[in-house]
């Protein structure tokens, strides 16, 4: 009997295939959501069902007690079954007529009374049911049950998005184009509803819930063995801290990436495991410093972080000497002033509250002409509008450009709806915190090799970055086509690996057209990683003479057609034999067997001679 119940439970609510460690750790998620739904239905429909059952019972019982006569004049009483049958089709308005014989006046009178009683009972029950369907609590329980069922049915690695704002939407589109599954949980129901407006290729399970609640995170897939990472994407650092704590305590082996702007919260986050933290204000300062020292390196970094489909960015050339003016001295302003001063630049700050530790701060509203006059924009070389108000930043940038058209203009965009206005301003540099976070998280999660390559860019020099930019542009055009990874392992490159076991193979020989080996594929090898772990060796932009070895991992950039051609070489023995050695090998196993037999026969005849 217990086995039957277990089978029924698995069919209704799904089998719990979590590892025993997870079953012990997350006890709060043991109760199925279906139980809550059934409980709400039974509680809300208890009174209507009881009243309907009582009405049916009374009408059936009384009808069976009323005396009647058959056509021959003999007395009889309807049986309980006959009375129930009559009341059932009468109450459902089917109307088969009187049975088993025509009714007398008493029976017809009671049938009339019963009809009105049953109509009242059904109206009350149906009205209660409609009210239940519209009830917010019931709809939430039903939505939670469907969401939990979708998450439990996932049988591929997925990412858990804690928060779905502008950053979540950008990452969702990027990962969906890669075929990466993800699950979303957000406190605002309107953001969850907006998922239906985005044309994702796969169905995205989404829940309107509190990401600070470990129970909701567990339901969203934190305890699912297929969960491969957690992204804390809310705009509240405290909420992101809750997500990091839950992931570190419940699933310490999972990688966690979080958005943070407060240094205090960032310090507290680092106390839980080793999360990867992205501070958009700090990153913008680092990027600006890189643009000051190596404009081509900054151009290459921003292009690769933007991902496939992005246009080649303009090469920014911020002035490396002179004085900068910054409007706004909040978190973003403090980070940027520190980075600019570290580069040896002087900075004048305009802020309404001032700063007692910085004598270069002008106290006042930057939008007032008298305050801007104190900043002396005419002698400055750069201006940054860094307040948390887009209207203010746009007006400040326009005013600064009118005062000094030669200024290097940078601004901070806070809202996505302001994007067309900032594009129309044609600024030299623009900080969009949501895009900075999305681009860096994409680089870290999409291809780990890409993140390693991006980290190595600043150390390679500006001339190397300029050459790499030209190679990628020559291969992909001014729009980045594809970035992908190839691993020279038995399951992913069986044909080439068999040749590598016999000895190293030149990278240039592999990047040949399988239809014409004299033509090189338009693929740019960005990085070759050899080994794994801390001892892994990275070779950036290797040349054609670079010797490949088994288990190497390659980061490549190129067009889709060239990627398919390369995959043919990696998998197909005939194509691999042709591009490497200019030998034509039979493509089917039958012809290969005949060819081997022919070669062995020729060797035998030669030996006999």
Do 149 and 26 reside in the same domain of the chain? yes
> Domain for residue 462, yes or no?
no
- Residue 89 placed within a domain: yes
Can you tell me the distance from the alpha carbon of 439 to that of 173, in angstroms, rounded to the nearest whole number?
12
Task: Give the CATH number for residue 26.
Answer: 1.10.287.70
113 and 77 within one domain: yes
Residues 147 and 49 in one domain: yes
Residues 147 and 41 placed together within one structural domain of the fold: yes
Give the per-residue pLDDT at 475. 87
Closest CA to 281 of 330, 239, 233: 330
User: Which residue matches tokens 């600006």?
Assistant: 288
CATH of the domain at 220: 3.40.50.720
pLDDT for residue 588: 55
DSSP 202: S
* 354: in domain: yes
In a domain, 134, yes or no: yes
Contact predicate 310/480, CB 8 Å: yes
**227-232 and 158-162: which strand pairing?**
parallel
Q: Under a CB-based contact definition with an 8 Å cutoff, are residues 204 and 172 in contact?
A: yes
Residues 130 and 178 in one domain: no
Spatial separation of the C-alpha atoms in residues 260 and 485, rounded to whole Å: 29
Task: DSSP letter for 546, please.
Answer: P
- Give the pLDDT confidence of 71-104 residue by residue, as tens digits: 888 888 899 999 999 988 888 777 778 888 889 9
Element at 529 (helix H, strand E): strand 523-530
Helix (H, G, I), strand (E, B) or coil at 74: coil
- Report the chain (609 residues): mean pLDDT per 10 consecutive residues: 42 43 43 63 86 93 91 88 89 78 91 90 89 81 85 91 91 86 92 85 88 90 91 93 93 92 91 90 89 90 86 86 89 87 90 71 83 88 91 92 91 90 90 89 84 89 92 89 89 90 89 91 92 82 92 92 92 89 68 50 39
Contact 351, 328 (CB under 8 A): yes
* Residues 256, 329: Cα–Cα separation, whole Å: 30
Say how far apart CA 325 and CA 408 lie, in whole Å: 10
- DSSP for 276-344 reads EEE-HHHHHHHHHHHHHH-HHHHHHHHHHHH-TTPBPPP-----SSSEEEEE--SHHHHHHHHHHHHTT
Residue 291 within a domain? no
Same domain flag for 47 and 172: no
Angle at 203 between CA 202 and CA 206, to 5 degrees: 135
* 303 Cβ contact partners less than 8 Å away, ≥ 6 residues apart: 310, 312, 313, 469, 472, 480
* Helices and strands, counts by H and E, the chain: 26, 20
Residue 362: in which H helix or E strand, if any?
A: strand 361-363
Q: Is residue 311 part of a domain?
A: no
Instruction: Answer whether residue 434 is part of any domain.
Output: no
Listed residue (267, 287, 607) closest to 428, CA to CA: 287
Strand-pairing partners, residue 207, are 185
Question: What is the residue range of 335's domain?
Answer: 319-427
* Distance separating alpha carbons of residues 316 and 295, to the nearest angstrom: 6
Q: Is residue 14 part of a domain?
A: no
Residues 147 and 160 in one domain: no
How confident is the model at residue 223, as a pLDDT?
A: 87
For residues 142 and 44, state if they share a domain: yes
Task: Please state the domain count of the chain.
Answer: 4
Q: Do residues 183 and 163 share a domain?
A: yes
Q: Is the CB of residue 237 less than 8 Å from the CB of residue 265?
A: yes
The residue from 358, 393, 427 where one domain ends is: 427
- 427, 442, 458 — which closes off a domain? 427
Question: 227, 255, 278: which is the final residue of a domain?
Answer: 278
119 with 172, same domain: the answer is no
Q: Encoding tokens for residue 425?
A: 């301003």
Helices (H), 163-321: 166-178, 189-194, 214-217, 237-250, 263-269, 280-293, 295-306
CB 513 within 8 A of CB 520: yes
The pTM for the full model equals 0.74
Residues 369 and 399 in one domain: yes
Same domain, 420 and 529: no
Cβ-proximal residues to 122 (8 Å cutoff; 6+ apart), any chain: 52, 91
Query: Which has the closest alpha carbon to 209: 242, 183, 236, 185?
Result: 185
Q: At what angle do helices 433-446 and 448-460 cross, to 10 degrees?
A: 110
CATH number at residue 535: 3.30.70.1450
Q: How many other C-beta atoms can be found within 10 angstroms of the C-beta atom of residue 214?
A: 21
Q: How far apart are CA 421 and CA 32, in angstroms?
A: 49
Nearest to 526 by CA among 504, 507, 501: 507
Q: How far is CA 13 from CA 9, 27, 145, 153, in A?
A: 6, 17, 9, 10
Predicted confidence at residue 9, as pLDDT, reads 38
pLDDT at 234: 93
């Amino acid at each position: 009997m217990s086995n039957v119940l277990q089978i029924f439970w698995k069919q209704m609510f799904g089998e719990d295939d979590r590892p025993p460690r997870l079953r012990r750790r997350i006890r709060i998620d043991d109760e199925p959501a279906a139980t809550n739904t059934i409980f709400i239905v039974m509680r809300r429909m208890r009174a209507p069902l009881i009243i309907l059952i009582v009405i049916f019972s009374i009408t059936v019982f009384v009808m069976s007690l009323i005396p009647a006569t058959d056509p021959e004049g003999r007395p009889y009483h309807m049986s309980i079954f006959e009375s129930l049958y009559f009341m059932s089709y009468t109450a459902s308005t089917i109307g088969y007529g009187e049975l088993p014989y025509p009714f007398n006046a008493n029976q017809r009178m009671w049938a009339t009374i019963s009809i009105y009683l049953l109509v009242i009972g059904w109206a009350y029950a149906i009205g209660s049911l409609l009210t239940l369907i519209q009830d917010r609590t019931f709809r939430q329980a039903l939505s939670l049950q469907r969401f939990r069922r979708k998450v439990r049915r996932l049988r591929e690695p997925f990412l858990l998005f804690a928060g779905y704002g502008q950053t979540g939407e950008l990452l969702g589109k990027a990962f969906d184009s890669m075929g990466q599954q993800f699950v979303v949980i957000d406190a605002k129901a309107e953001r969850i509803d907006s998922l239906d407006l985005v044309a994702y290729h796969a169905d995205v399970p989404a829940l309107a819930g509190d990401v600070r609640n470990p129970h909701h995170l567990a339901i969203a897939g934190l305890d699912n063995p297929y969960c491969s990472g957690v992204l804390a994407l809310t705009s509240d650092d405290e909420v992101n801290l809750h997500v990091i704590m839950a992931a570190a305590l419940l699933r310490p082996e999972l990688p966690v990436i979080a958005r943070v702007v407060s240094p205090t919260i960032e310090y507290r986050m680092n106390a839980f495991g080793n999360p990867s933290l992205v501070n958009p204000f700090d990153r913008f300062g680092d990027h600006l410093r890189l643009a000051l020292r190596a404009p081509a390196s900054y151009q290459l970094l921003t292009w690769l972080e933007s991902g496939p489909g992005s246009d080649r960015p303009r090469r920014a050339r911020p002035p490396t000497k002179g004085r900068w003016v910054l409007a706004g001295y909040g978190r973003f302003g403090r980070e940027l002033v520190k980075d600019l001063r570290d580069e040896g630049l002087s900075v004048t700050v305009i802020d309404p509250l001032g700063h007692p530790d910085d004598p270069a701060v002008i106290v006042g509203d930057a939008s007032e002409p008298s305050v801007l006059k104190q900043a002396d924009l005419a002698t400055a070389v750069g201006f940054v509008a860094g307040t948390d108000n887009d209207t203010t930043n746009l007006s400040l940038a326009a005013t600064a450009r009118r005062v000094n058209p030669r200024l290097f203009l940078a601004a901070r965009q806070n809202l996505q709806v302001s994007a067309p206005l900032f594009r129309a301003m044609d600024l030299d540099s623009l900080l969009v915190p949501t895009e900075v976070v999305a681009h860096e998280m994409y680089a870290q999660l999409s291809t780990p090799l890409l993140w390693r390559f991006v980290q190595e860019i600043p150390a390679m020099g500006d001339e190397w970055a300029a050459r790499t930019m030209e190679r990628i542009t020559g291969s992909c055009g001014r729009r980045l086509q594809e970035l992908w990874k190839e691993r020279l392992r038995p399951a992913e490159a069986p044909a080439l690996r068999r040749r590598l076991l016999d000895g190293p193979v030149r990278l240039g020989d592999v990047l040949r057209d399988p239809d014409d080996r004299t033509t090189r594929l338009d693929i740019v090898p960005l990085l070759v990683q050899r080994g794994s772990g801390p001892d892994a060796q990275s070779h950036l932009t290797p040349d054609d003479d670079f010797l490949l070895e088994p288990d190497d991992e390659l980061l490549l950039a190129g067009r889709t057609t060239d990627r398919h051609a390369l995959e043919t070489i990696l998998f197909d023995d005939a194509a691999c034999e042709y591009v490497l050695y200019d030998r034509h090998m039979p493509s089917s196993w039958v012809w290969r067997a005949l060819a081997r037999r022919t070669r062995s026969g020729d060797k035998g005849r030669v030996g006999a001679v």
